[in-house]
Amino acid sequence: MNKLGLPEDQIARARNLAVRIIKPVMDFIDGHTTVAVERASLRLAGADGADSDGVPVPNIVVDQLKDRLEGGALRWYINALLRTGLTPDGLNAQIADGLKIKDFPLSDPQAVETKAAQITAQYLARIETNRLHRETKLEQFKDKNHSPLLYVIVATGNIYEDIKQARAAAEQGADVIAVIRTTAQSLLDYVPYGATTQGFGGTYATQENFRIMRVALDEVSEARQRYIYLTNYASGLCMPEIAAMGALERLDMMLNDSMYGILFRDINMYRTFVDQKFSRMINAFAGIIINTGEDNYLTTSDAVEKAHTVLASQFLNERFALEAGLSPKQMGLGHAFEMDPEIENGFLLELAQAQMAREIFPQAPLKYMPPTKFMTGDIFKGIAQNTLFNFVSKFTNQGIHLLGMLTEAIHTPHMQDRALALDNAKYVMNNMADLGDEIIFKPDGVIIRRTHHVLSETLDFMESIARTGLMECMEQGAFADIKRPRDMGKGLDGLVKKGDDYWNPIEAELKIRLGGA
């Protein structure tokens, strides 16, 4: 229901500005690949495993081909499959043992094409099966999930301990389990292999960890007749690879922002822009819901003053997502309840921001993040803050609700912290379930005026980005007050300009299946 009377023409203008802002970036993206895009493509053609030092096979292959990457890595991997007559598993084992696939002379191009078509079809079929399985289960367990989806994090560092925590949370009512990554992983330029039991502040994202957790959550789903979504992080230097692994193991959501890595992890902007496109194409095809990271802006900037940067970023994330073939229903655009609790009427401003996002992005399963910056260690006040957050989320019909923990700012959640958070959310959201439908806002009141003001500031901000250029703006600190020069940051050496002979049958097939994204 539309309560704010936001001018349609202004919203349309913001979307047009987003198209203009993104255009030059998309041109850049289309002309480039990265080591991570090539590794992700290899994974979707069967490359997997690691050598005795733990170096993953996709990294070994890309390293072998580092002076030929402008043509793409897949030609050589497919060629090696043809030359050896091995299955991908067999070839991976030999590569891990030191086989140099770059030494094989290229086969007949037609034979390479045919083999590529066969391999591509095989792996994309697996992803399609995953997608269908999810859709079937969601249909079978219809109306069993909460609305918004209740999302909790597990972060023990040990995948087997994570499973205990995740099962407990799911049994207590969580709809979404995110396995937070170890604090170092976003800056690794490879994805570790196998099950892992040691991480700091989180657990390594590996394909095996994905698989183990998926099995555990499927068991709970069946037992409780409620589909439990599994979430991980397609972000950092391995953004597209993690998307590929998540697609193969039927993850349901991925943190996947177009600019987060640049701003908050100091990853090079060219690298991130190219990586996010391919990772989002994979997510789009896999039916994975992305979660964007606008909430992070508000942990460094002021939530009242910088509300317009959140909305602008949501418009940009939406545009980047559309360019990659994601449907609006897969766009968990992010925002957060991060205003200073001492502000008089701060609650009204939070409500305004959440309602505005709801009305501007009516189909998006908005990802609403809890208070973190102003959580103090006073767990009792923390519960009160989280209660207000729960109220706003239900009232404004958010899509994905990340539960606030009373022990935020103290430690990663204990089992009871999650249970108490779930109890709080279930209580609030049940007790006031339809309140939002009962209430309309005063036409010239604080809430309506605030949203019109933020939208108009957003337009001014986006006009200035369109004039200056997105990359230039990021160099000048337009988002989150963080400045990122374009030729600095991690991962720049992994950027490769595509040659005329660039060949990537996975990307090509994804484009076709996504309708020419």
Partner 1 sequence: MLIRSYGDTLDDGAVQLSFTLPVPCDTKGREAARLYVEKLGFYHVDIAHSHALADGFSFYVAYGKTGASVDYSQIHAEEATGEKLYSMQESCDIIRGRLGRKVVIVGACTGFDAHTVGIDAIMNMKGYNHHYGLERYSEVEAHNLGAQVPNEKLIDYAIKVKADAILISQIVTQKDVHIQNLTEFIELLQSRGLREKFIVCIGGSRISNKLAVELGFDAGFGQGTYAEHVATFVIDSIIIANHNYE
Paired sense of beta strands 32-34 and 495-497, if any: antiparallel
Task: Give per-residue burial for 308-333: e unless 16+ CB within 10 Å, then b.
Answer: bbbbbbbbbbbbbbbbbbbeeebbbb
Q: In sequence order, what DSSP letters do the residues of 122-138 get, joined into one string?
A: HHHHHHHHHHHHHHHHH
To the nearest whole angstrom, how small is the minimum distance from the Cβ of residue 184 to partner 1? Answer: 4
To the nearest whole angstrom, how small is the minimum distance from the Cβ of residue 206 to partner 1? Answer: 17
For partner 1, give the closer residue by CB, 54 or 377. Answer: 377
Is the omega angle on the peptide bond into residue 443 within 30 degrees of 0, that is, cis?
Answer: no
For partner 1, give the closer residue by CB, 2 or 345. Answer: 345
- Note whether 21 and 465 are within 8 A (CB): yes
Exactly one of 84, 107, 197, 300 binds partner 1 (CB under 8 A); which one? Answer: 300
Exactly one of 363, 416, 431, 476 binds partner 1 (CB under 8 A); which one? Answer: 416
Distance CA 367, CA 463 (A): 26
Is 197 near partner 1 (CB under 8 A)? no
Stretch that binds partner 1, among 105-113, 184-192, 243-251, 462-470 (CB under 8 A): 184-192
Say how many residues touch partner 1, by CB under 8 A.
37
Q: Which helix (H) or strand (E) holds 23?
A: helix 8-30
For partner 1, give the closer residue by CB, 140 or 183. Answer: 183
For partner 1, give the closer residue by CB, 228 or 448. Answer: 228
x/- mask, partner 1, residues 199-238, rule CB under 8 A, reads -xx-------------------------------------
Largest CA distance in the chain: 73
CA 180 to chain centre: 12
Exactly one of 482, 492, 514, 517 binds partner 1 (CB under 8 A); which one? Answer: 482
In eight-state DSSP terms, residue 267 is B
SS3 content of the chain, % helix, strand, coil (to 5): 55, 10, 35
For partner 1, give the closer residue by CB, 427 or 467. Answer: 427
Is 186 near partner 1 (CB under 8 A)? yes
- Torsions phi, psi for 195 (to 5 deg): -75, 140
Residues paired with residue 401 on neighbouring β-strands, in sequence order: 150, 368
To the nearest whole angstrom, how small is the minimum distance from the Cβ of residue 179 to partner 1? Answer: 15
Stretch that binds partner 1, among 321-329, 372-380, 448-456, 464-472 (CB under 8 A): 372-380
Interface with partner 1 in residues 486-515 (CB under 8 A): none
Interface with partner 1 in residues 114-133 (CB under 8 A): none
Whose CA is closest to 282, among 337, 318, 242, 314? 242
Distance CA 74, CA 39 (A): 9
For partner 1, give the closer residue by CB, 215 or 415. Answer: 415
To the nearest whole angstrom, how small is the minimum distance from the Cβ of residue 76 to partner 1? Answer: 34
Stretch that binds partner 1, among 168-176, 268-276, 317-325, 391-399 (CB under 8 A): 168-176
Q: Which helix (H) or strand (E) holds 221?
A: helix 207-224
Distance CA 287, CA 247 (A): 8
- Kindly provide the residue ranges of all beta strands, DSSP E only, lying in 243-378, ordered along the sequence: 253-255, 289-291, 331-332, 334-336, 367-369
Is 264 near partner 1 (CB under 8 A)? yes
Exactly one of 187, 195, 212, 383 binds partner 1 (CB under 8 A); which one? Answer: 187
* Both structure tokens of 136: 């079937």
Interface with partner 1 in residues 375-404 (CB under 8 A): 376-377
For partner 1, give the closer residue by CB, 26 or 187. Answer: 187
For partner 1, give the closer residue by CB, 8 or 342. Answer: 342
> Which amino acids are annotated catalytic?
260, 295, 367
Exactly one of 128, 222, 302, 463 binds partner 1 (CB under 8 A); which one? Answer: 302
x/- mask, partner 1, residues 419-448, rule CB under 8 A, reads xx----------------------------
- Note whether 166 and 216 are within 8 A (CB): yes
245: three-class secondary structure by DSSP: helix
**Quick one: CA dihedral 477, 479, 485, 489, positive or negative?**
positive
- Note whether 479 and 297 are within 8 A (CB): yes
| Residues making contact with partner 1 (CB under 8 A) | 157, 167-169, 171-172, 182-184, 186-187, 200-201, 264-266, 299-302, 340, 342, 372-373, 376-377, 409-412, 414-416, 419-420, 481-482
